């Protein structure tokens, strides 16, 4: 186990934050090879716009904004990393004019290599940021991985 005060989270990631994403040209080339999604008149914003989130009409008055986002560490402080990752994820809902209500998280973490307190602090930071925004965390999943990563949907 590593001392929680000595570990630099940024040293565990090959690329930071959104820098891990596949470039738009490469992604577009791959997506062009896939069959189109089932046409749906209630899908207001979908794959064709490459937007921050999808928007699906529930009824004449209401639509559901869905997004998924991940973040690798861009700071070394675990609590701050959790806060930044959560703020980044829910900002996509705001960008689409929505109000985030719930979130799921997926956390990747090298559990045998790092002190569990680091993971606790990451999740506490994310949870506190979600609470600040009025978002309820409804669950999630964990993955034992070599690089820390926090995903929110």
Q: What residues are labeled active site?
A: 18
Q: What is the DSSP string of the chain?
A: ---TTT--GGGG-SS-GGGGSPPHHHHHHHHHTSPPPPP-TTEEE-GGGT-SSEEEE-SSS-EEEE--EEE--SSS-HHHHHHHHHHHHHHHHHHTT----EEEEEEEE-TTTS-HHHHHHHHHHHHHHHHHTTPEEEEEEEEE-SS-EEEE-
User: Measured in Å, how far apart are the chain's first and last C-alpha atoms?
Assistant: 30
């Amino acid at each position: 186990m590593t001392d929680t005060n000595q570990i630099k989270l940024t040293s565990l990631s090959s690329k930071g934050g959104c820098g891990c994403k596949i470039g738009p040209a490469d992604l577009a080339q791959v997506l062009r090879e896939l069959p189109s999604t089932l046409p749906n008149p209630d899908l207001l914003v979908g794959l064709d716009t490459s937007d921050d989130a999808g928007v699906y009409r529930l009824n004449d008055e209401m639509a559901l904004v869905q997004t998924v986002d991940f973040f690798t560490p861009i700071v070394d402080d675990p609590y701050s990393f959790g806060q930044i990752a959560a703020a980044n994820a829910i900002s996509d809902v705001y960008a689409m004019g929505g109000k985030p209500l719930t979130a799921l998280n997926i956390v990747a973490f090298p559990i045998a290599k790092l002190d569990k307190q680091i993971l606790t602090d990451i999740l506490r930071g994310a949870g506190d940021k979600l609470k600040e925004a009025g978002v309820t965390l409804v669950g999630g999943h964990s993955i034992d991985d070599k690089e820390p990563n926090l995903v929110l949907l």
